[in-house]
Every structure is written in C-alpha cells, then in structure tokens.
Amino acid sequence: MAYLRWLTFNLGNEPVKKILSISMGSSSRDHSTVHEFLGKKCEISRIGFNADLEKVIKTYEKYDGKVDAFGVGGLEFYLGVADKRYYFREVKKIRAVVKKSKIGDGNGIKGILIKRSIKALEEKLNEEGKTLKGMKALKTNAVERYMIAEALVDAGCELTYGDFMFSLGLPIAIHRLSTVRFLGSILLPVITQMPFKWFYPLGSAQDKPPEPKWEKHYHQADILAGDFVSIRAHMPDDLSGKIILTNTTTAKNVEELRERGVHLLVTSTPRLEGRTFGTNVMEATLRALIDKPDNEITKADFVDLIERIPLEPNIEVLN
C-alpha cells in the first residue's frame, strides 16, 4: 500500500520512532511527516479508512509491534464528562487486537493541551486589548470534548452547548454545564453501546461541503469551539471576526476559514508541514518518546515532556 511506504523509510542509521494514526475518518485527510522532538526523529503518519471498522481493526493487527505507537483516530476509547468515563463498546475491539505497540486516543493529553491553548488565546487577545471574559462561545458538542467547555467557562465565557443540534439534529440549545453533565449521565451509557458513526460524521461524510444550519448560534458566538469536523459541518459562509478553537485542520481547512473571514484559528497541537495533527497522534508520539511501558506512563510524564519539547498550541491570524 503506497501510503504506508513510510514504514520502511530509514533516515541513515539513526533509530527513528514510528507513529501511525489509524482513523475511521476520511482518507482525503491522510498526511505523513518526519519531525524531530528533543533530538529524536519521529515518522508520523495518519491513514483514514472511510468508516470501515473492519479494515481499521485489520490494520492495527497488521502493524502491531511494527510501529512504536498507534494513534486512534476518528474514534475515542471513552467520553469523559466531569469525573465520569463512558466507554464505547465498538472501540474495545481495537484494544483487544493491539498487544505490543503503545496506543493513545488523545484522552491522555487533551486536558493538558486545552489549558495551554486557552492560556495562549487569552494572551493573544490581551495583545489586541481584549479578553475571553464575557465572550460568547458555541461549543458544538460538550460531551465529546467536555474539557474545552469547562475551560471556557473557567475563563469567563458565556457558553451555548450544541449537543442536541450537532449530534441529534434537534433544535435545542443548552446553556448550563450542569445540564450537560445530567444529560450525559442519562444518555451516554446508551449512546456508547451504539455504532460511533451514528453520532459523528465519518469517512466521506467529512468531505461534503458545509451545509449551513443553526446559523443563529454561529452568528451570536464570538468563539466556535469543538471538533473541527463538527464545526465545519454546518458553518455558514460568513464567519467574519470569529475565533475558532479546535483540533485537526488541513491547509485546505485553513483556506476555507480564511475565505469566510475568520479572525483567529487556534489549534491545541502545532502545525507540521501544513497540517495540525489530532491529539491522538500527539499522544501516540509522546508515548513513543517516553521510555516506560504504556501502562506506567502518567499525566506527570506527559506534562514534563510537553513542557520540555515544548508542544505549543498553534495560533494563526487569518484576517
């Protein structure tokens, strides 16, 4: 398979860390790069399988032990809401086949990177004579990235949560984080037992042109926060002056946002060769760099490595 040639690539005689993100998302977002962290070269690649879970599982089996670490893309092992975790039944199949390589879905570092992103955004706004306090934010799906919602509330933003709108297509906006926690405790034990693609666009669905919807909520918000696929799915043509706080974006995505008048694009991971990789990729990279068995790696290990690299959020002024 041509897109996996990087697995046999060797940079001289220097050992290279191999990181492979296997995603349920669209293959159009595939990307590979070689990057150096703290003097260690890392080959990083993302491969999408267009919502084909069977192919995803077979690829994990095929490359288990041949890469240093896997990133779990387009899926998550669990959704964390406050101090509770709700595990997806479907994703347990991946855990079952990976025996040798390290593996991360992004949950291990999301909270750390989000706090760094919010801090960097506040500093950038202060340079413009602004502050996050009092800004209105639309969080597309709070149960999917609860830590972003919580961090924005702590920063003094006024939040609208679009869980019903963006996941279920229902015209119901939520305005209290306590309501999100309550609904999560009722709905997530059921939702996590169902196919992931029922609630999140995967494969070719990620490539469709945006279909504007919930425009009132987009226009009222100063900040649009959440998973980029969710933000993009229904974004209107005019996003003048908006701030996007998200994760993975390609060069094409950046141009889409620039054309719509977006002011700032903030991603929790750095841009490598035109693309910001997902937190699952960065967690897998960090796991590959930490000289410990996977089950012994702690939050403190992640924090230490993130600060030493340092792994900074990416902030771009688009307009």
> What distance in Å separates the CA atoms of residue 227 and residue 180, rounded to the nearest whole number?
17
Would residue 318 count as lying in a domain?
no
User: For residue 261, is it left (φ>0), alpha (ψ between -120 and 50) or beta?
Assistant: left
Range of the domain at 39: 2-106+276-312
Verify that 170 and 238 share a domain, yes or no: yes
Cβ partners under 8 Å of residue 105, min gap 6: 71, 72, 75, 76, 77, 91, 280, 283
Whether the ω angle into residue 310 lies within 30 degrees of 0, i.e. cis, is: yes
Q: Compute CA distances 81 → 147, 176, 267, whole Å.
A: 8, 14, 21
**pLDDT higher than threshold 80 for residue 137:** yes
Residue 27, amino acid: S
Flag the least confident range among 5-9, 104-108, 214-218, 296-300: 5-9
What total number of domains does the chain contain?
A: 2
Do 170 and 128 share a structural domain?
yes
Residue 30 lies in a domain: yes
Pair (38, 10) in one structural domain: yes
Same domain, 134 and 267: yes
Helix, strand or coil, per DSSP, at residue 106: coil
Q: Convert the pLDDT of each residue in 184-208 to its tens digit.
A: 899 899 988 988 777 666 656 667 8
Nearest to 299 by CA among 310, 287, 291, 288: 287
Q: What is the CATH number of the domain that holds 119?
A: 3.40.50
Residues 141 and 235 in one domain: yes
Q: Is 156 left (phi over 0), alpha (psi -120 to 50) or beta?
A: left
pLDDT in tens, 40-64: 999 999 999 988 999 999 999 999 9
State the DSSP H helix or E strand holding residue 143, giving kind and residue range, or none if neither: none
